[in-house]
Structure 1
């Protein structure tokens, strides 16, 4: 009997999707169900996933007439259709290591034994960064930073990759429905979990995170190159959509928030709404906000960029 729902949102993924589905099929842990929803692809993705569904009864393709809804909404639709106790999220172009599900499932069960089987839980791992041919270009995506807990460590920098996480159904009850028009579903999920649940990070790569022209985020070992990328970016987390997401979280989970968490979220609003750059830097330092590339990168960003 299946215990884990794996949710895969697809769109024009014909080039790599077979490798990812094969890596799921070849897992050492087999009691899963893969739910796939295609977001109105114009290539051969639909045919590929339907063929897999015909060959493996654990794979199910969701059909609807909603058309193209975007990645976050696609995952929300899939999440609403999930009916098992544990849930994973899959990108269409990565490759999972054979024991990924087994390790995550073992850890989340240990967390339930330690805390409670009623508490919301999120377990996640690191990943190898690869080029489009799966050649490893960096040994980790998060590294030891994944150990950092607290809203100040994740609001400005998503430390939890959606494709690296496993959550339980207790967390699902809190994260649905998603806020309207969010761009990054895994960031939203990880922030809510930081408020209502427990998070365990496995500091080892359990998947190959493929970088290519369609999803490239850019990975540089050189700090100066990383800093240049931070400054060049649009700083997604200061957009109106993200502030609306945080406003949604603050209002909907207000009773769950500790006083410290309330202060951190209010400081986030001050940083992202203020026109005074040094005031932004002050609150970053006071509450120790950071991006994945550190506090300095965040401070330089707000000092050199407009709101």
Structure 2
């Protein structure tokens, strides 16, 4: 089984060497490593070139984009170039456990049904010290994965769950070449690339979660998946801009409709998940108390919305939030 590893970089000089080392030290080595730098203006390229030269890595290739593409297009182009049977995605600032590639490829080799595997992550700070996260009921993987019941070592994730939210960062996933061409054909750069890949895998019944921490996911100023709302009141208010939220949900619904037409998925759970997103979209377009309680009646609402979000949605009905937006934007 040929293994490809893809890394997109941009101004990552601070942590890039640690990540390169964690890839180099894998118990199972990738057959090709493709790195695309998105026109960094720091020492990222210099450090990568030096690492490749020092370790005489003939199968590692560094490419420098002619212009800044953004992370979605950068990864898309890398996936297009990958030749492996299994493809790993890598960020520039995390640290992989030594047996990450070994464990994940072993499961793919055992079961042809598997199209993507998503490993668990552990949040760490800039110095790799663990960040403790209190898990909510029925949540796993630093509160990224909602699942009722006990997870085994490898658990199939249904399409309905993937429609509502992704389950782990892309740096913790790998996928089979079986869905590569489907991704290249259907990806429209709306969703993050890793979420789109997991959607395709789940459509085929092949999206799995591996309940083992294989990535130290670094939380810092430029990479804050676990702390995206910040503590600044202005940032908090702007984050809950219902106009932007409605646009985002509508874009997600549009790509889901394309996938539904192509793959004809009509199971009740998936349709309910889509109905939930449609209800949420209608609420953000024009909040009313009726729409609020209808949205709140979906079980998906409770596990995808935190306490601040639920309070903000309730306040949106009174239009207090609209006034807050006007104040902070002026």
Please indicate the TM-score interval, normalised by the length of the shorter structure. 0.7 to 0.9
Larger radius of gyration: 2
**Residue 134 in structure 1 maps to residue 134 in structure 2:** no
- Structure 1 residue corresponding to 2:297, chosen from 285, 292, 295: 285
SS in 2 for 1:136: coil
Tell me, in whole angstroms, the C-alpha distance in 2 between the residues paired with 1:17 and 1:108: 28
Contact 2:119 2:173 in 1 (8 A): yes
Tell me, in whole angstroms, the C-alpha distance in 1 between the residues paired with 2:289 and 2:33: 47
Alpha-carbon shift at residue 22 of structure 1 (Å): 0.5
Tell me, in whole angstroms, the C-alpha distance in 2 between the residues paired with 1:304 and 1:61: 50
Alpha-carbon shift at residue 298 of structure 1 (Å): 6.0
Tell me, in whole angstroms, the C-alpha distance in 2 between the residues paired with 1:281 and 1:194: 30
Contact 1:271 1:283 in 2 (8 A): yes
Q: Corresponding residue for 2:109?
A: 109
Q: Deviations over 1:56-112 (max 9, x none)?
A: 1121112442x1111111100100111111011101000000011111111122221
Contact 2:295 2:301 in 1 (8 A): no
138-147 or 195-204: which moved more? Answer: 138-147
Q: Corresponding residue for 2:87?
A: 87
Contact 1:154 1:291 in 2 (8 A): no
Tell me, in whole angstroms, the C-alpha distance in 2 between the residues paired with 1:215 and 1:207: 15
Summarize the Cα distance change of 1:173–1:145 in structure 2 as closer, same or farther, 3 Å threshold.
same
SS in 2 for 1:176: helix
User: Which 5+ residue runs of structure 1 have no aligned equivalent?
Assistant: none
Q: Corresponding residue for 1:97?
A: 97
Q: Corresponding residue for 1:122?
A: 116
| TM-score, length-scaled by structure 1 | 0.82
Q: Corresponding residue for 1:244?
A: 251
SS in 2 for 1:186: helix
Alpha-carbon shift at residue 122 of structure 1 (Å): 0.8
Alpha-carbon shift at residue 294 of structure 1 (Å): 6.0
Contact 2:276 2:300 in 1 (8 A): no
- Structure 2 residue corresponding to 1:272, chosen from 281, 284, 289: 281
Contact 2:119 2:211 in 1 (8 A): yes
Alpha-carbon shift at residue 47 of structure 1 (Å): 1.4
Tell me, in whole angstroms, the C-alpha distance in 1 between the residues paired with 2:313 and 2:204: 30
Contact 2:86 2:174 in 1 (8 A): yes
Alpha-carbon shift at residue 290 of structure 1 (Å): 4.6
Q: Deviations over 1:11-49 (max 9, x none)?
A: 000000010011000000114311100011010111122
- Alpha-carbon RMSD: 3.1
| TM-score, length-scaled by structure 2 | 0.76
Q: Corresponding residue for 1:20?
A: 19
- Structure 2 residue corresponding to 1:173, chosen from 173, 177, 181: 181
Tell me, in whole angstroms, the C-alpha distance in 2 between the residues paired with 1:97 and 1:8: 16
**Residue 303 in structure 1 maps to residue 297 in structure 2:** no
The size of the alignment, in residue pairs, is: 291
Tell me, in whole angstroms, the C-alpha distance in 2 between the residues paired with 1:301 and 1:243: 20
Tell me, in whole angstroms, the C-alpha distance in 2 between the residues paired with 1:280 and 1:176: 37
Alpha-carbon shift at residue 265 of structure 1 (Å): 1.8
**Residue 216 in structure 1 maps to residue 224 in structure 2:** yes
Tell me, in whole angstroms, the C-alpha distance in 2 between the residues paired with 1:94 and 1:235: 30
Summarize the Cα distance change of 1:23–1:263 in structure 2 as closer, same or farther, 3 Å threshold.
same
- Structure 1 residue corresponding to 2:264, chosen from 246, 250, 256: 256
**Residue 62 in structure 1 maps to residue 63 in structure 2:** yes
Summarize the Cα distance change of 1:72–1:98 in structure 2 as closer, same or farther, 3 Å threshold.
same
Tell me, in whole angstroms, the C-alpha distance in 2 between the residues paired with 1:46 and 1:127: 27
Summarize the Cα distance change of 1:162–1:218 in structure 2 as closer, same or farther, 3 Å threshold.
closer
SS in 2 for 1:238: helix
Q: Deviations over 1:115-134 (max 9, x none)?
A: 3xxxx611111111101100
Contact 1:145 1:292 in 2 (8 A): yes
266-275 or 74-83: which moved more? Answer: 266-275
Alpha-carbon shift at residue 246 of structure 1 (Å): 3.1
Tell me, in whole angstroms, the C-alpha distance in 1 between the residues paired with 2:168 and 2:227: 17
